[in-house]
A and B are shown apart, each in its own frame.
Chain A
């Protein structure tokens, strides 16, 4: 079975400060991990993913995420937040070892960046 948890419904950060959106996962084998962003009244957009290789993954709009196998986490980070980063962020996981070939999405974390 595969599952993903986003422990925070909402994250508030001031513009210019670093931001972190948390994600933890559970899979039987190795994970494929994804982050998507949803702006108001829009569909989800792909940000970045970890399949294999370097634990630090760089994605769109200056975002990055760090895969930590021992902590089963894949937190999304950005060194300096922008007001325009305010959106809903989804983490997703797929067990690369088989079972479901479809990723499971978390419930989403609302990021609010204050001017």
Chain B
């Protein structure tokens, strides 16, 4: 069974740039997987950031961008702010109506 992989944790200094990735335990991520990204602060429902690889959801600042980097989907945050410190999840569409979440990345802004 293919697993969607994310870095368990990442750290970025305030004002810095960080790229979180979303890969597959077997194979490469392409736009055909329709990668999407979600942000979740503790105790809150997730918020949609990016869909279909690089489209920003309504109201999401352009500090957040999505792309394919190498064989993975990527979420890049530029000018990191304190309130960017939370969990980030990717989802990949596996076909046949099935989507799978990555394990999530806990981002620290420090």
Q: Do A and B come from one complex?
A: no
Chain B residues in the interface with A (C-beta under 8 A): none
